[in-house]
Amino acid sequence: MLFGHSKKVATSAFELKVRTELYTLVEIRTSLQQQQQHHHNFFLRHLMASADPLHDLNVEVDLATQSLLLAAANHDVRAVRDLLRTTPATVQDADTGFTPLHAAVAAFDDADDGGEAADTGINGVPAADQEEIKKRELEAAEETVRVLLQNGAIWNDLDNNDETPGCIAWRLGLKELYEQIVDAGVRAELLLTRLGEYQPLADDDEDVEAEDEGQEGISQAGVQQELNVQSSTTPADPSASNEAYLSSTLTFTPTDLLDSATNAVMMSWETPIMERHASLLLPKEGLRVLNIGHGLGIIDNFFQSHSPTTHYIIEAHPDVLARMKQQGWYDKPGVVVHEGRWQAVLPKLAQGEGELVFDAIFFDTFAEDYSALREFFSESVVQFLDSEGRFGYFNGLGADRQICYDVYTKVAEMDLFEAGFDVEWEELKVEDLQERGEWAGIRRPYWGLETYKLPTCTFVG
């Protein structure tokens, strides 16, 4: 049976109604099972492993949710379309946390079937015919995913195993489905960015100003409320905002830079990445370079090895600045250290005497989100970078999850092009940091991927 073993209880009118609906679903499932048995097997393993819902008449059976999940798992596009008329694409199974999008992708997870399928095929089909069957199944799955996304399925919803649909697609090697979900994530993030820039129309300037102040107040109140909640239970997380980070006390170890909550601001495992960035940004000696965010000084040391004529460093944290003074950065030939946030320093540099431009600019700050990076290359890099210059940044947004990393990488590439930049990506292998013990004592690992995508940006044309 679809929902497990029945328990004999007194039959009520309600129960008869539920049983009738359940038996109808059983008939639908049986028909689908004859076409795609392995999909149904997966669905039983991961979605219908709970006890019989008729065990307790007080338990409500959400037939609409289960029907949509089942239709998605079987890639029955017609049924999915019909069910979406009354059931949102964001429903989740209580036991697995699966959304219909999860179910549509995870239907290919037949790892529990062992190696038998490889020899005998699906439903006894010879192995030689499996390729064509898999192709048709993928096409049906792609159409199912497309329909779900068009109807509001969320690309980064998490199930009870902390996986998004894209995570499952990546794990199973389903490239086409993975790219579909990445593209959906890109569209969603671009839309959110544009909505964030939206300013409501007003009758006059005063109304606009009042609206802006109101929105700012709401935003600041939200941040303050979050900080207050954190402080009532645990110490505030300095990585929550740049302001909190700059007021926190930093700890320098032989290999790492940590904030007061043991978040890693910078770690020595980044050294090969920074070395490659520096060599691409400064391909020869005698160039001018600007670096935003000194941290441990890894990339600034590599910049120095390329003998730049001018080396500007903008750093805001007082503990980092104190260490820079101890290490003699203020006294190095050609080095100019500017204390403060780049948002405050760069406008002052722009107002200085003469034209100040650089052959290379690098950006790597802490406790700032993507909007800060986008603002930097859209407004500051275009102003301070030489026409033949190069711009780079530490590409670490969303790097604890492959799907998020790929989404942010694509979003950045599109925004960079809009700002007037071409991007060349170079892939660098990253060792297993967990296996190396890099995250021991670190509050939140910020990197969990095998490949770093290194961006080098130049002006279009």
Determine the pLDDT at residue 46: 52
Determine the pLDDT at residue 126: 73
Q: If pLDDT is split at 50, 70 and 90, which confidence band does 193 have?
A: confident
Q: If pLDDT is split at 50, 70 and 90, which confidence band does 147 have?
A: very high
In percent, the amount of the chain with pLDDT more than 90 equals: 70
* pLDDT per residue as tens digits for the range 286-312: 999 999 999 999 999 999 999 999 999
| Burial 9-29, CB ≥16 within 10 A → b, else e | eeeeeeeeebeeebeebeebb
Q: Does 385 or 31 have the greater pLDDT score?
A: 385
Structure tokens at 81: 């379309």
Contact 265, 259 (CB under 8 A): yes
CA 445 from centroid of its chain's CA atoms: 14
* pLDDT per residue as tens digits for the range 227-283: 333 334 445 799 999 999 999 999 999 999 999 999 999 999 999 999 999 999 999
* pLDDT per residue as tens digits for the range 366-387: 999 999 999 999 999 999 999 9
Q: Please give the average per-residue pLDDT across 64-70, as a whole number.
A: 96
Contact 180, 112 (CB under 8 A): no
Q: Is pLDDT above 90 for 216?
A: no
CA–CA dist 329, 365 (Å, integer): 19
Q: Is pLDDT above 70 for 3?
A: no
pTM of the model: 0.80
Q: Is pLDDT above 70 for 22?
A: no
Q: Is pLDDT above 80 for 40?
A: no
Q: Is pLDDT above 60 for 206?
A: no
- The residues pairing with 425 across neighbouring beta strands, listed in sequence order, are 455
Determine the pLDDT at residue 199: 55
Q: Is pLDDT above 50 for 217?
A: no
Q: Specify the DSSP class assigned to residue 306.
A: T
Determine the pLDDT at residue 121: 53
Q: If pLDDT is split at 50, 70 and 90, which confidence band does 44 have?
A: very low
Nearest to 63 by CA among 55, 54, 164: 54
Q: Is pLDDT above 70 for 182?
A: yes
Determine the pLDDT at residue 122: 53
- Report which residue type is found at 381: V
Q: Specify the DSSP class assigned to residue 249.
A: P
Determine the pLDDT at residue 50: 46
Q: Please give the average per-residue pLDDT across 399-406, as a whole number.
A: 98
Q: If pLDDT is split at 50, 70 and 90, which confidence band does 198 have?
A: low
Max CA pair span of the chain: 90
* pLDDT per residue as tens digits for the range 73-131: 999 999 999 999 999 999 999 999 999 999 999 999 964 444 444 455 556 667 668 88
CA–CA dist 371, 394 (Å, integer): 14
Q: Does 437 or 221 have the greater pLDDT score?
A: 437
> Among 129-143, 407-421, 437-451, whose mean pLDDT is lowest?
129-143
**Average pLDDT over all residues of the chain:** 83
| Burial 64-73, CB ≥16 within 10 A → b, else e | ebbbbbbbbb
Q: Does 307 or 13 have the greater pLDDT score?
A: 307
Q: Is pLDDT above 50 for 26?
A: no
For residue 280, give the 3-state DSSP assignment.
helix
Contact 167, 159 (CB under 8 A): no
Contact 249, 260 (CB under 8 A): yes
Query: C-alpha distances in angstroms, 7 versus 22, 51, 52, 107?
Result: 14, 10, 8, 29
Q: Is pLDDT above 50 for 319?
A: yes
Q: Please give the average per-residue pLDDT across 322-350, as a whole number.
A: 97
- Report which residue type is found at 380: S
Q: Is pLDDT above 50 for 145?
A: yes
> Among 33-47, 261-275, 322-336, 345-359, whose mean pLDDT is lowest?
33-47
Q: Specify the pairing of strand 335-339 against strand 421-429.
A: unpaired
- Report which residue type is found at 107: A
